[in-house]
Amino acid sequence: MTTPWRKAIRDFWTERARTVLVVLAIALGISAFASVLAAYAILTRELDRGYLETNPASAVLWVQRIDDELIAQILQNREVSDAEPRRTVTGQIKAGPVQWRNLTLFVVKDYGDIRVSKLVPEEGAWPPATGEILIERDAFQVAKAKIGDKVTVKTAHGKEQQLLVSGRVHDVGQAQARMENIVYGYINLATLVQLGEQPYLDQLNIRVRNNRFDEKHIERVAGEVKTLLESRGYPVTYINIPRPGKHPHSDLTGILLLAMSSFGLFVLLLSGILVVNLLSALMASQVRQIGVMKAIGGTRWQIARIYFGQALFLGIAAVVVSIPLGVIGSRALCDYMAMFLNFDINSYAVPVWVYLLVVIVGIASPLIAAAYPIRRGTAVPVRVALTDFGLSRTTFGANAFDRLLVRLGGSFSPLVFAVRNIFRRRARLVLTLLTLSAGGLFFMAALNVRASIINTLDRMFGARKFDLAVTFSDPYEWSRIQRAINNTQGITNAEGWFFTEGALTPDREFTVAALPVDTKLLDLEMLDGRFLRPGDTNALVINNALAARVPALRVGETITLRIGSAESSWRIVGLAKEAYSPAIAYIPLDFIQKQEPGMTNSLRLALARNDFDSISIVKESLDRNLEREGVRARGSSSQAETRFGFDQHMLMIYIFLVVMSAIVGSVGALGLMTTMSLNVLERRREMGVLRAIGATPRVVWLMVISEGLMIGILSWTIAALLAWPVSKVVGDALVGAMLRGGLDFVFEPKGLLIWLVVSISVSAAGSFLPAWKASQTTVREALAYE
Amino acid sequence: MISLHQVSKKYETPAGVFSALTNVDLYISGGEFVGVVGKSGSGKSTLLNMIAGIDRPSSGAVTVAGTAIHEFAENKLAAWRGRNVGFVFQFFQLLPTLTAAENVILPMDFGKSFPLRERRKRAEALLERVGVGRHADKLPATLSGGEQQRVAIARALANEPPLVLADEPTGNLDSITAAGILDLFRGMATQGTTVVIATHEADIARVIDRRVEISDGIIVK
């Protein structure tokens, strides 16, 4: 090893405490980056692999009914590698005496020969026998049942029937049941008959033979199958082509990982700032040594190499620490995402390219960060470097700002001294403030986004004045429903609504909700125009989701809408705000009543009590009374259940932001500690002078602590000023990307207070050690320091 | 060996322009031991810096061993200095995290003047020559002022430079130690090395070949 390398290592060794701090800070950044990168590699590989292993359908076609002969004909198409019929039936399920849960039943003809969209049996019976039901693994918690339980199931047209929960399956393609608050069940055709439904299959899953990831090709093949079906007298009502080869949640995963990657890079950037600070200080303290090296023949590049060597050491040490941390972090992240997306990770193996990239980024970052201080430090002319007297090279008092600071302070006190001192190394101050303020900003943004999410949901649910929504499989006479309501205790208000499909053109379908114009159970916030009111006949209100989907729709315009088979003319009278809602148009119920007098297919109920148990009792009682009237509910959901689902989705964003702020805050704290220790080191002789003229160790200690606290408070002020706009942007971006909805922003003042306390604590903690060291240095040591 | 022709050096200071050297003409032959004498602030160090290429003249020419060093770029100058000049400072200026031997090896590493394996041996020999061989593996902080200055001299000799410059090399030492250090310089000059020492001390006369007196940036004698 040559002497310059020895110098590089020993210089760091002599300042090992500070070196460790900077290595830790960089390691934090690289660990965050490595965790996200590895999680990205694992998740994208495992998610799509797991999904592709199920042989997902290339396209799903809905027809009246499908039989084996039809399947055989479809399979004659060379482009179709497989075709399999299924059926999806909605209904309700309950495990205990009360509390019906929404149920989606998947009916498969032959569980022994599932070739498309395969299920993975996990425990218990396989296939399900007649009278048995398998439940998706994540749905057990929703169903509140376990294997071996008897559950009661009812579908739209059948009767209540007890089924045995005989096993657990994993259906990779389904969303997490807990978040959707729905039970996924799997039965055979004979069980479907037991439930009182007709034993037919109406959903055709096909897989194309070639170009499986080519959407255009799939569309073409699906079109050919459609033509064949219709030529045989089986009209196709709907075709769904899922994104080829992609798990339904892969987009969401991508957005989350993108957000996390940005964060990883951001933390890396912040830790780079610490390298800039450390090396700037190191270079400043070694100006004379640089001069000597130049004087004895060292070229600028030879000297720069010593300091680049130190930056390289920082990078290598940080990478060594970061890789195991990153692997652990990526596992935690993968497990969390896998739970959220309901899929299994078979291998946590991190691809080699991730390690390589982490090593390259980890080593390159400190080198890049070090480039400027090294360039600057080695540029000092030899004569200037040799005459450097080692300390306090900054000239305080040279500009108007310094003079202003001087005017601010009265008589000498540690506080006045601290205020002036923090502005001596301005570049360092700015970089330190940047890291500390970033921590505060993220923390406040986390609280603000959370508060805004809650506010948005509160307003959204506040607009819905009903506690329970019941949907029917078919339209029923209102008079029968009214009787059931009258016989049910605890209902204070009820309205019959009618939901149907509307379309501007054949491919632009959306939900049309017909409701009483004087509805008391919906009070939407209007962005433009007004809501429906008595006397309206052809008035239509659109929500913001529909306006976003069809930008041509504007308040005041008249449009032609196809509802059912008839076309009618409507005037858009208002634009309503509905967070996280599908595209909906609201029209007067009278319009539907003219076509189907006295009929309704959906019920909205306000209850006297809206606690969980009371709602359950009302649901159970109403269901019984509706059955007595011959009315079959397809499903029901309380506001509380729906809200729970939303809260679960939002919790993830909140946790992400809080974890983020904790990591950024830690980098900030390490940055402050580094800054304070550099400040103390550089002013050691000055402190010796202070001690020589009578300052006690306590005063010196107080001075340094005050300086740290001032920086903390300054960082808090910056974070507080930026918290509002940054929180709004972060909130809109995250929530908007995930749920395609805006945020009703609200500022959380608690965040300001909490971060002030955190800032003060972090600053005090960060400056404690440097302050203590400064106060313990003897006058002789301090004055002799170069 | 060394030729300064009409060398002037002016510095811009907040108080105005300060002339450190004014139209200095000086010629020093090879193997000569010259003492540049003058009061503090007289321009001795500036003159030495000009010869070493540490500073550049505002006007005039500096030629060392036939090379016009005032025309060199910074990096080229550093490399030239490494091979041709040994510099000894008043405050020793040893690198604190390197041992005595490593301090001596450093110029050899920079200049790549000796094979890697020979550098350590050579450093030990040089330290032995200046009387601090037993301290080769000690850090500067553990050495006395005189010992540190001897190590600094060994470092100055590392690349066998034809020219050694010393700026107040005994200014920080007691008289006995100072005498020992001056004897070392005398020995170098005797062996053919050109030595130029800047000092404000009068008792240098016994070792030098020629005395150059400088006052207010002008050579007066």
Residues A11 and A95 in one domain: no
Residues A779 and A724 in one domain: yes
For tokens 């799939």, name the residue.
A218
B134 found inside a domain: yes
pLDDT at A507 exceeding the cut of 80? no
Q: A317 to chain B, minimum CA–CA distance in Å?
A: 21
Q: What is the DSSP letter of A137?
A: G
Domain termination residue (choose one: A358, A390, A422): A390
Q: Which tokens sit at A553?
A: 């729709």
Q: Please state which of the ranges A101-110, A114-123, A502-511 shows the lowest mean pLDDT.
A: A502-511
pLDDT at A390 exceeding the cut of 60? no
Residue in chain B nearest A300 by alpha carbon: B75
Domain that holds residue A294: 1-56+245-390
Confidence of residue A444 (pLDDT cuts 50, 70, 90): confident
Q: Whole-angstrom Cα distance, residue B184 to residue B197?
A: 12
B188 found inside a domain: yes
CA geometry: angle A230, A235, A237, nearest 5 deg? 135
Q: Which tokens sit at A638?
A: 């309380």
Residue A694: the pLDDT is: 66
Residues A664 and A777 in one domain: yes
For tokens 């990779």, name the residue.
A172
Q: Is the CB of residue A23 less than 8 Å from the CB of residue B125?
A: no
At A672 the three-state DSSP class reads helix
Q: Which tokens sit at A374?
A: 């090294």
Q: Quick check: B116 and A2 CB within 8 A?
A: yes
Q: Please state which of the ranges A119-123, A292-296, A514-518, A538-542 shows the lowest mean pLDDT.
A: A292-296
Residue A135: the pLDDT is: 95
Q: What is the DSSP letter of B92?
A: -
Strands (E), A217-339: 238-240
Instruction: Please name the helix (run of DSSP H) or strand (run of DSSP E) that holds residue B197, with its range, or none.
Output: strand B194-199
A222 found inside a domain: no
Higher pLDDT among residues A603 and A620, named by residue: A603
ipTM of predicted complex = 0.76
Q: Is the CB of residue A159 less than 8 Å from the CB of residue A196?
A: yes
How many C-alpha atoms does A2 have within 13 Å on its Cβ side? 16
A204 found inside a domain: yes
* Range 230-269 of A in CB contact (< 8 A) with B: none
Q: Whole-angstrom Cα distance, residue A390 to residue A288?
A: 7
Residues A457 and A333 in one domain: no
> Which candidate, B162, B163, B158, places its Cα nearest to that of B118?
B158
The amino acid at residue A372 is Y
pLDDT at A690 exceeding the cut of 70? no
Q: What is the DSSP letter of A504?
A: S
Instruction: Please name the helix (run of DSSP H) or strand (run of DSSP E) that holds residue B62, with its range, or none.
Output: strand B59-64
How many C-alpha atoms does A424 have within 13 Å on its Cβ side? 21
Ramachandran angles phi, psi of A254, nearest 5°: -60, -45
Adjacent-strand bridge partners of B7:
B24
Q: Which residues from A are below 8 Å from B156, CB to CB?
A: 296
Residues A583 and A666 in one domain: no
- State mean pLDDT over A269-278: 77
Q: Whole-angstrom Cα distance, residue A144 to residue A151?
A: 10
B8 found inside a domain: no
Residues A198 and A297 in one domain: no
Residues A452 and A519 in one domain: no
B56 found inside a domain: no
Q: Crossing angle for the helix pair B116-129 and B145-156, nearest 10 degrees?
A: 130
Residues A523 and A627 in one domain: yes
pLDDT tens digits, A310-346: 889 889 999 999 999 999 989 988 888 887 777 888 8
Residues A478 and A601 in one domain: yes
pLDDT at A545 exceeding the cut of 50? yes
Q: Is the CB of residue A529 less than 8 Å from the CB of residue A646?
A: no
> Which candidate, A550, A549, A514, places its Cα nearest to that of A532?
A514
pLDDT at A666 exceeding the cut of 90? no
CA geometry: angle A80, A84, A89, nearest 5 deg? 140
Exposure string for A230-245, b = 16+ CB within 10 A, e = fewer: eeeebebeebeebebe
Confidence of residue A488 (pLDDT cuts 50, 70, 90): very high
Residue A376: the pLDDT is: 85
Domain that holds residue B208: 31-42+72-219
Q: Quick check: B98 and A7 CB within 8 A?
A: yes
Ramachandran angles phi, psi of A156, nearest 5°: -60, -40
Domain termination residue (choose one: A370, A390, A410): A390
- State mean pLDDT over B37-66: 88
Higher pLDDT among residues A395 and A179, named by residue: A179
Q: Measure CB to CB from residue A297 to each of B89, B93, B159 and give the nearest one.
A: B159
Is A10 within 8 Å of chain B by CB? yes
Q: A3 to chain B, minimum CA–CA distance in Å?
A: 6
Gyration radius from chain A CA atoms: 34
Neighbour tally for B6: CB within 10 Å? 12
Residues 6+ apart with CB under 8 A from B31: B1, B189, B192, B193, B194
**Hey, of B49, B95, B124, B151, which one would you mutate to test binding to chain A, going by the most A CBs within 10 A of its CB?**
B95
Residues A755 and A686 in one domain: yes
Ramachandran angles phi, psi of A287, nearest 5°: -55, -45
Confidence of residue A416 (pLDDT cuts 50, 70, 90): low
Neighbour tally for A572: CB within 10 Å? 21
pLDDT tens digits, A691-715: 666 667 777 788 888 888 888 898 8
Q: What is the CATH number of the domain that holds B92?
A: 3.40.50.300
- State mean pLDDT over A39-52: 83
Q: Is the CB of residue A47 less than 8 Å from the CB of residue A341?
A: yes
pLDDT tens digits, B150-196: 899 899 989 889 999 998 888 777 888 888 888 888 988 998 999 99
> Which candidate, A150, A158, A178, places its Cα nearest to that of A94?
A150
- CA A596 to centroid of chain Cα atoms: 44
Prior bond of A127 cis (ω within 30°): yes
B173 found inside a domain: yes
B59 found inside a domain: no
Q: Whole-angstrom Cα distance, residue B113 to residue B110?
A: 8
CA geometry: angle A694, A700, A701, nearest 5 deg? 145
Q: Is the CB of residue B213 less than 8 Å from the CB of residue B219?
A: yes
B26 found inside a domain: no
Residue A404: the pLDDT is: 66
Mean pLDDT of chain A, nearest integer: 83
Length of chain A (residues) = 786
Residue A392: the pLDDT is: 42
Q: Please state which of the ranges A201-205, A248-252, A282-286, A544-548 shows the lowest mean pLDDT.
A: A248-252
Instruction: Please name the helix (run of DSSP H) or strand (run of DSSP E) that holds residue A46, with its range, or none.
Output: helix A16-53
Q: Whole-angstrom Cα distance, residue A680 to residue A771?
A: 8
CA-based torsion, B87, B90, B92, B95: positive or negative = negative
Q: Which residues from B are below 8 Å from A302, CB to CB?
A: 110
Percent of chain A residues past pLDDT 70, beyond the cut: 91
Residue in chain A nearest B45 by alpha carbon: A383
Q: Measure CB to CB from residue A297 to each of B74, B102, B107 and give the nearest one.
A: B107
Q: Please state which of the ranges A777-786, B103-112, B159-168 shows the lowest mean pLDDT.
A: A777-786
Is A4 within 8 Å of chain B by CB? yes
Q: A751 to chain B, minimum CA–CA distance in Å?
A: 47
Q: Is the CB of residue A467 less than 8 Å from the CB of residue A639?
A: yes
How many C-alpha atoms does A722 have within 13 Å on its Cβ side? 17
Q: Whole-angstrom Cα distance, residue A680 to residue A700?
A: 10
Q: Which residues from A are below 8 Å from B49, CB to CB?
A: 382-383
Percent of chain A residues past pLDDT 90, beyond the cut: 22
Higher pLDDT among residues A284 and A146, named by residue: A146
B156 found inside a domain: yes
Q: Is the CB of residue B42 less than 8 Å from the CB of residue B48?
A: no
How many separate domains does chain A show? Answer: 4
pLDDT tens digits, A345-382: 888 999 999 999 999 988 998 888 888 888 888 888 88
- State mean pLDDT over B203-207: 79
Instruction: Please name the helix (run of DSSP H) or strand (run of DSSP E) that holds residue A423, with its range, or none.
Output: none
Q: Whole-angstrom Cα distance, residue A262 to residue A355?
A: 18
CA A694 to each of CA A691, A698, A707: distance values in angstroms, whole numbers, following the listed order: 5, 11, 20
Residues 6+ apart with CB under 8 A from A64: A202, A234, A235
**Hey, of B50, B91, B110, B149, which one would you mutate to test binding to chain A, going by the most A CBs within 10 A of its CB?**
B110
* Range 99-138 of B in CB contact (< 8 A) with A: 102, 105-107, 109-111, 116
SS3 readout for A312-354: HHHHHHHHHHHHHHHHHHHHHHHHHHHHHHCCCCCCCCCCHHH
How many separate domains does chain B show? Answer: 1
Instruction: Please name the helix (run of DSSP H) or strand (run of DSSP E) that holds residue B37, with its range, or none.
Output: strand B33-37
pLDDT tens digits, B130-139: 889 999 988 8
Residues A701 and A759 in one domain: yes
Neighbour tally for B31: CB within 10 Å? 16
Is A395 within 8 Å of chain B by CB? no
pLDDT tens digits, A296-313: 888 888 899 988 988 898
Confidence of residue A785 (pLDDT cuts 50, 70, 90): low
Residues A64 and A207 in one domain: yes
Residue A388: the pLDDT is: 56
Q: Is the CB of residue B98 less than 8 Å from the CB of residue A10?
A: yes
Percent of chain B residues past pLDDT 70, beyond the cut: 99
- CA A353 to centroid of chain Cα atoms: 26
> Which candidate, A751, A298, A492, places its Cα nearest to that of B105?
A298
CA-based torsion, A169, A171, A174, A175: positive or negative = positive
A456 found inside a domain: yes
Residue B121: the pLDDT is: 93
Neighbour tally for A736: CB within 10 Å? 12
